[in-house]
Chains A and B, each alone.
Chain A
Amino acid sequence: MMDEQAGAAEQAGAAGQPESLQEDLYRTIALIRRFEERSIELVRSGDIVSGIHPCIGQEAVAAGIGAALRRDDVMMANHRGHGHLLAKGTDPGRLFAEMMGRATGIAHGRGGSFHPSDLSVNVYGSTGTVGHGAPMAAGVAWALARSGTDRIAISIFGDGAVNQGALLESFNLASLWQVPAVFVCENNLYATTLPVQDAVAGSITGRAEAFGIPAASHDGMDPEVVLEATAGAVARARSGGGPSFLEFKTYRYEGHHTFELTAGLHYRDPEEVAQWRSRDPLELAGSRIPADRRKQIDEEVEIVIDTASRFALDSPRLDPAEGLDYLYSSGLRLRSGVSGG
């Protein structure tokens, strides 16, 4: 079963004995944690100019989802998407390079931290227009079903997305046409600075239920809970049972974006942050595997992150003459912004 699945274990090049499921989940969480921590260092050093939307604290959701999917399943991620891509099997070095705007980036720097995609692992995109990945995932799922495969599509969005019209429209279409899609809300309690209770009337799961989509809310800090819930929804979609909706309650320890490192916002009580940190998915997953294995995985992840960030830092920068490349699949070239130029 595991060898059919795309997970960080495969990516990390774990040698020797096959990993247990719990070790695999821990490795993915550790990889994402260290990737994000290194990314913040690279933001501070100026190597990642955009800043990032860190997902530290939310890694269990990505890890559980990644373990529930096959490599050929399609994912639509979002602006807080590094963890999603890594859990789907993206190469960390090429993702760092993408975020640094280097030529070796997955999308040659054109997606950046905000809009990464990786067709090699079937991440079709990460939209920054909150919630708009959901209708795209519905369309992907519909097309996959038509083609006769049992592949499914998953869309991951935050609590800020659940009030977007296009997302709610996609629930209607997905349910109406019974597409093999899984909609996942990572409810981290804040849309930028706005608390979910000030934004959401009714309930998050109630939105999906209103369209006849089975919906459930789960603990998003426990990767095994996420895996089990997602695997159920995926199996349902794969077998022709139609779409499902999952809400995972989770928390981001860092700000909405690294601009909060200097912005001095005060929308969260430090005690609340501390309380969620006490349920850290890294510690939870780590407590479930032997200490020596945890140490070994940590060391391996460190090597992966060091190698990956070095690869990106050593990669060539982009040529300003190529600023208009990739705008069109057909290779159409545009006029310059200077008359006669």
Chain B
Amino acid sequence: MPYLSYLRAINRALGDEMERDPAVFLMGEDVREALTNTTIGLLKRFGPERIIETPLSEQGFTDFATGAALAGLRPIVEYQIPFLLLLVFEQIANQANKVSLMSGGQARVPVTYLLPAAGWRPAWGAQHSDQPYPMFGHFGVKTVLPATPVDAYGLLVTAIRDDDPVVVFAPIAAHKVQENVVFADLAPVPLGVGRVHREGADVTVVAVGHCVHDALAVAQDMAEEISVEVFDPRTLYPFDWDGLAASLEKTGRLVVMDDSNRFCGLAAEVLATAAEEMRLVAPPRRVTRPDSAVLGCVPELDLPLQPDRGQLAVAIKEVLKGAR
């Protein structure tokens, strides 16, 4: 079976959807040269009318995409760097995502916002290392964070076909993941449906994005002593609460590993909801970035600020010790 890498999966999803639907086009910076590797071959295949090179004008072209969507097209807008999503937060959360409501259902904005390089990379500085995904969920923007190439393909396809704005975060730390696949088996993955990567009986680890792979490694390492279930929501918003409840019904113990900042982060919402509405027999734990973490230019400083396998293993053991 051929290997599919994470970025190739994104590239394949873009190509397949552009092939399937002439209304789909992509715009962004340096997309002709495929700087992020997502658009390799697409300019040649679909031409400059559908692979639109933009100036550094993110607020303008994000609103522009909203207009194109209102006129019946299905834009995909690519951003190279996480903070650009802060620059266009107004355009996504306050403009595009409110069109359906403000028009009383008359209009729709099927735009996909693609961030192929979410998160930290060594020494790229304080303005290139954020994980702003919880903000979008807070404002009700559909948000996905695929962990694997197959899910990256399937969730991106679904995002493009969805009639609402969807933000797709592709964590840098997951880019190295490859999977054996049969290309013909690649299929859309529905929004709001999580995936149990590993079944277990003692504790549920909710992990998103590249953290899924850390959680799987830790689960394997601890397999002889603890049975860890790894639950990947895949879509952050809307969240698969039913899937989480089913897992906790079985395990009753919860750890969340989330690469966003602690305060009002994704893990905070998962813990709150689980505490209110689901079966928990011990206090839950979070492994996240610190409050308002800012990662900078020195790996020795930055790495300890990001959730890692050692922290997760400790949290799992603590949850196993704890009891209500």
A→B interface (CB under 8 Å): 74, 76, 105-111, 115, 117-119, 124-125, 127, 129, 132, 134-144, 146-147, 153, 165-166, 168-170, 172-173, 176, 325-330, 332, 334-335, 339-340
Contacts and interface: CB of A to CB of B under 8 A. Distances in A.
B186 to A, nearest CB: 22
Given A108-B104, A119-B107, A326-B100, A143 B63 contact: no
Contact of B63 (A117, A139, A146, A335): A139
B95 A129 contact: yes
Nearest to A169: B60
Contacts of B192: 332
B292 to A, nearest CB: 26
Contacts of B72: 143, 147
Interface in B43-79: 49, 54-55, 57, 59-73
B310 interface: no
8 contacts: A119-B106, A124-B67, A124-B71, A129-B94, A135-B61, A141-B67, A173-B61, A326-B104
Interface string B8-35: 0000000000000000000000000000
A215 to B, nearest CB: 18
Contact of B101 (A147, A173, A326): A326
Which applies to chain A's interface (DSSP): helix, strand, loop or mixed?
mixed
Contact of A129 (B65, B90, B277): B90
Interface residues on B, range: 35 or more
A332 B97 CA distance: 13
Nearest to A112: B102
Given A138-B67, A142-B64, 13 more contacts: A105-B104, A107-B104, A115-B102, A136-B67, A146-B49, A166-B91, A172-B55, A172-B57, A172-B60, A173-B55, A328-B164, A329-B109, A329-B164
Given A119-B107, A125-B70, A328-B100, A135 B276 contact: no
A3 B54 CA distance: 40
Nearest to B52: A177
A127 B95 contact: yes
A140 B192 CA distance: 30
B243 interface: no
A122 to B, nearest CB: 10
Contacts of A127: 95
Nearest to B106: A119
Given A127-B95, A129-B95, A330 B67 contact: no
Contacts of A132: 63, 90-91, 95
A242 to B, nearest CB: 15
A178 B110 CA distance: 24
B162 interface: yes
Given A74-B71, A143-B72, A332-B238, A108 B105 contact: yes
Given A165-B59, A176-B55, A109 B67 contact: no
B101 to A, nearest CB: 5
Contact of A139 (B67, B90, B94): B67
A213 to B, nearest CB: 14
A326 B49 CA distance: 32
A231 to B, nearest CB: 22
Nearest to A332: B238
B102 A117 contact: yes
A182 B90 CA distance: 24
Given A139-B71, A143-B71, A144-B71, A110 B102 contact: yes
A339 B104 CA distance: 27
